Amino acid sequence: MKTKTQVCIIDDEKDGRDYISLLLENEFPDIQISFQASSVEEAYIHLTKNTPDILFLDIQLKDGTAFDLLSKFREIDSQIIFITAFENFAIQAIKNGATDYLLKPIKKIDFIIAVRKALDNIKKNKGSSSAQYSHKNKISLPTLQGFRLTNITDIIRCEADSSYTTFYLTDKTKIIVSKTLHDFEEHLSEHNFFRIHHKHLINLIHLKEYLKGKGGQVVMTDNSILDVSVRKKNDFLYKIEHPD
């Protein structure tokens, strides 16, 4: 489990990356910079395997824009702080889920306010997630009518759809929750769930079959057939062969 807030800095200018790093070191010593990049390609490769808590994202990069990068993902469960020299990107940044928007040259006070806002959001999200779990082997899923206290073993799989998650249960019901799949992943992973794809988190006790392929596919006990992403394939097969 992570002990420090993890941050990625994506900026095509080394001076820009160095300045953000210096501000973080001086103002937020408990934050850890886990990765830096200058291009869409570098950032994409990293973000397919890692989810930073906070993502500092320059809009104009060497080989494209921040929006080109974000378009490659269905969702990124990070607090995104956009950085740019151009004010006209503000609306597009907000539409892409910006936590905040910093103009170059970055003012120290604006930077501090943006990071504090991101940290507050992270704290609220964690508190909201932890409040869902009132029983060790059950999970409370909010519904329009209230909530449903569900046995974790009754969950076959969870499917991401932007900022929503659909739970598929053994009684053939579906529950749609207005939270991202990332909000549930850490907790459910402790109960033998595995994220085989950015869209799919499956309960391994309900796995029936694995079908070979580039990434492959799984067949679940509800007869659903789900893709396994290429980057998850080896970890998934190792998990099956080496259960805890």
Helix (H, G, I), strand (E, B) or coil at 178: coil
Map out the domains of the chain with their CATH numbers: 5-130 (3.40.50.2300), 138-241 (2.40.50.1020)
pLDDT band (50, 70, 90) for residue 138 = confident
Nearest to 47 by CA among 182, 160, 163, 159: 182
In this structure, of 24-28, 53-57, 89-93, 239-243, the range with the lowest mean pLDDT score is: 89-93
- Whether 90 has a pLDDT exceeding 70, the answer reads no
Contact 220, 206 (CB under 8 A): yes
- The per-residue pLDDT for 85 is 82
Distances (CA, A) of 17 to 29, 32, 58, 72, 108: 16, 14, 10, 23, 14
Give pLDDT tens digits for 39-62. Answer: 999 999 999 989 899 999 999 998
pLDDT in tens, 170-226: 999 999 988 899 989 988 998 999 999 999 999 999 999 999 999 999 999 999 999
Q: What letter would DSSP give residue 77?
A: -
**Which tokens go with 12?**
């095509």
